[in-house]
């Protein structure tokens, strides 16, 4: 008990520890790499075409509907309630998978899972509202490591249970139900943040008024009125109880608009955000439908499958690629866009290889390459954006970029996948995804070459202090 009390009083260690444990258990989804074989197998008996062209698109549409309101509610309700909701819906997700009969239950499952994914923003933002700024870097590292360990362990365990123990997919889902139930219980141990990033109550109103010359702050106005701080204290108490006045909401709107302008204040930030949105839309499409591609190349009913092992390998290799970013000495402002174009091209080649190969092992390897390239580039992009913005602006940028990516993904799904439109087969879909990534690669190769040429031209003609020099020195 003394250790627990010390953790609680440590300021940042306790919430970081609890949230890391939550992330570990919430992402330890043993059954996730085997979702498609489970749905099209004897347990649910849903055809591959229905899963591809009807069932999976429902998640995309639902996710788009939930994302924006959940993003605003996350800050308004101060993060913890949304994390608890995510834990609850994770539990419901696997209850449906274990015991929900037929297509209607699996349709509800897709809507249910959209709530889970839309509340991820609460997991990533919670820690910044409750710990000191000097601990942001450490806490972020612990949280992402916990997610990675949970996902890798879950995928590896699932593969071992299938390959070595011959366990039925139903029991994988039952085990996962138990694990995510632990995550749901852990979420209640999180302390409730005392502030939000945008809906800051009295402090937000005060800070906004301080920006206007000649205006008194809210506290000063109250003191001028009755000579005491009682009214200001009342507002603070109301704020701590989650009560927001109309003025608070207006203030939050102004702060959101100010953060938006700062987030997209330069061309370089816009281009980094553009790649984030474009590439993430394509990545999520490949991630969502890769199990159907694997099943197309080598049907799970007739052969052993290694989906869990491949996903575990992707996590380890992708994490190593992301970790290597910190040790690469490159001027990303000059060469970053060229790197985005180059590695996006590698990713496009990997997707084309997945589409046209008849070897499951080649498809596995191409998927590892594709996912590693994405994790490498998204790490660079995240760092470049976050290093130039305040935490409030970064949170908003994360939300907006995710919303744009999801909107693009929804358009692709509605045209390419949905049975109400083209309803294309899985090979044709991956051919289109490869072409999509090739277009991203070409765009950023051209933009990156232009940026590098302009930078080199400036360096050849300008000294650091701005003096013009001869290009012969170079």
Distances from the Cα of 461 to the Cαs of 368, 449, 452, 458, 466, in angstroms?
43, 18, 14, 5, 9
Residue 313 has pLDDT above 80, yes or no: yes
Burial 311-342 (b: 16+ CB within 10 A, else e): bbbbbebbbebbeebeeeeeebeeebbbbbbb
Note whether 205 and 218 are within 8 A (CB).
yes
Task: Give the three-class secondary structure for 474.
Answer: coil
Nearest Cα to Cα of residue 94 among 111, 113, 107, 76: 113
pLDDT at 396: 72
Residues 11-66 have pLDDT tens digits of 678 888 998 899 999 999 999 999 999 998 888 888 888 988 899 899 989 998 98
Identify the pLDDT of residue 377: 87
Residue 392, helix vs strand vs coil: helix
Please give the Cα distance from 424 to 27 (Å, whole number).
31
Name the segment(s) of the chain with CATH classification 1.20.1250.20. 1-199, 265-474
Task: Give bridge partners of residue 468 from the DSSP assignment.
Answer: 462
User: Tokens 């959101």 correspond to what residue?
Assistant: 256
Task: Tell me what pLDDT residue 145 has.
Answer: 80
Q: Average of pLDDT values for 354-379? A: 91
pLDDT digits (tens, 9 = 90+) for 255-283: 666 666 665 666 778 888 889 899 999 99
Helix (H) or strand (E) holding 1: none
Q: Which pLDDT value is given to residue 79? A: 80
Lowest mean pLDDT among 202-206, 387-391, 427-431: 202-206
Q: Can you tell me the mean pLDDT for 365-378? A: 90
Question: Mean pLDDT lowest for which of 110-119, 167-176, 198-207, 293-302?
Answer: 198-207
Tokens of 7: 């953790």
Contact call for residues 338 and 448 (beta carbons, < 8 A): yes
Is pLDDT above 50 for 232?
Answer: no
Better-scored residue on pLDDT, 451 or 405? 405
Contact (Cβ atoms closer than 8 angstroms) between residue 128 and residue 398 = no
226 confidence band (pLDDT: 50, 70, 90): very low
The structure tokens listed for 413 are: 């799904």
214 vs 19 pLDDT, higher one: 19
Q: Does residue 412 surpass a pLDDT of 70?
A: yes
Q: Rounded to an integer, what distance in angstroms lies between the CA atom of residue 445 and that of residue 464?
A: 27
Collapsing DSSP to helix, strand or coil, 12 comes out as: coil
pLDDT, position 348: 95
Per-residue model confidence (pLDDT) at position 157? 93
Q: ∠227-229-232 over CA atoms, to 5°? A: 130
Tell me the β-bridge partners of 462. Answer: 468
DSSP summary character for residue 31: T
pLDDT of amino acid 263:
58
CATH architecture of 265-474: Up-down Bundle (1.20)
In the prediction, which pLDDT does 230 show? 40
Assess whether pLDDT exceeds 50 at residue 474: no
pTM of the full structure: 0.78
| Axis crossing angle, helix 230-240 with helix 218-226, rounded to the nearest 10 | 140
Tokens for 124? 């990533």
pLDDT for 71 equals 78
Here the tokens at position 65 are 């509907």
Maximal C-alpha separation, the chain: 81
Name the burial class of residue 153, with classes exposed (0-12), middle (13-18) and buried (19+) by CB atoms within 10 angstroms of its CB. middle
Please tell me the predicted confidence (pLDDT) of residue 351.
Answer: 95
Q: Which fold has domain 1-199?
A: Growth Hormone; Chain: A; (1.20.1250)
Percent of the chain at pLDDT > 70 equals 74
Please compute the mean of the pLDDT values over residues 342-361 and round it to a whole number.
93
């Amino acid at each position: 008990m003394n250790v627990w009390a010390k953790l609680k009083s440590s300021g940042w260690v306790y919430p970081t520890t609890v949230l890391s444990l939550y992330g570990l258990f919430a992402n330890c989804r043993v059954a996730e790499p085997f979702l498609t074989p489970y749905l099209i197998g004897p347990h649910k008996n849903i055809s591959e075409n229905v899963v591809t062209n009807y069932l999976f698109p429902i998640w995309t549409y639902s996710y788009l509907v939930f994302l924006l309101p959940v993003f605003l509610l996350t800050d308004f309700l101060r993060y913890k309630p949304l994390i608890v909701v995510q834990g609850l819906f994770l539990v419901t997700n696997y209850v449906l998978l274990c015991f929900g009969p037929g297509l209607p239950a699996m349709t509800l499952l897709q809507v249910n899972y959209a709530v889970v994914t839309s509340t991820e923003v609460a997991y990533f933002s919670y820690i910044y509202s409750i710990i000191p700024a000097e601990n942001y870097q450490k806490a972020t590292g612990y949280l992402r490591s916990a997610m990675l360990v949970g996902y890798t362990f879950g995928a590896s365990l699932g593969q071992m249970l299938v390959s070595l123990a011959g366990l039925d997919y139903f029991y994988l889902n039952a085990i996962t139900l138990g694990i995510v139930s632990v995550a749901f219980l852990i979420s209640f141990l999180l302390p409730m943040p005392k502030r939000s990033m945008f809906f800051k109550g009295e402090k937000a109103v005060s800070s906004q008024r301080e920006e206007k010359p000649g205006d008194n702050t809210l506290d000063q106005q109250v003191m001028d009125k009755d000579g005491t701080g009682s009214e200001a204290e009342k507002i603070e108490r109301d704020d701590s109880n989650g009560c927001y006045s109309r003025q608070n909401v207006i203030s939050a709107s102004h702060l959101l608009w100010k953060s938006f302008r700062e987030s997209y204040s330069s061309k370089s930030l816009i281009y980094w955000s553009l790649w984030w949105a474009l590439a993430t839309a394509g990545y999520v499409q490949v991630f969502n439908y890769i199990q159907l591609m694997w099943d197309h190349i080598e049907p799970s009913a007739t052969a052993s499958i290694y989906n869990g092992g491949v996903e575990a390998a992707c996590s380890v290799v992708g994490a190593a690629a992301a970790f290597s970013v910190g040790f690469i000495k490159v001027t990303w402002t000059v060469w970053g866009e060229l790197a985005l174009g180059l590695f996006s091209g590698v990713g496009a080649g990997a997707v084309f290889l997945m589409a046209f190969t008849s070897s499951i092992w080649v498809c596995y390897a191409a998927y590892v390459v594709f996912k590693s390239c994405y994790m490498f580039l998204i790490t660079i992009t995240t760092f470049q954006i976050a290093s130039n913005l305040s935490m409030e602006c970064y949170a908003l940028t994360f939300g907006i970029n995710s919303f744009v990516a999801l909107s693009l993904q929804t358009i692709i799904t509605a045209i390419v996948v949905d049975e109400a439109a083209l309803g294309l087969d899985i090979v044709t879909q991956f051919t289109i995804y490869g072409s999509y990534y090739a277009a991203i690669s070409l765009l950023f190769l051209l933009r990156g070459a232009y940026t590098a040429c302009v930078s080199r031209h400036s360096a050849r003609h300008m000294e650091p202090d701005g003096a013009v020099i001869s290009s012969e020195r170079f």
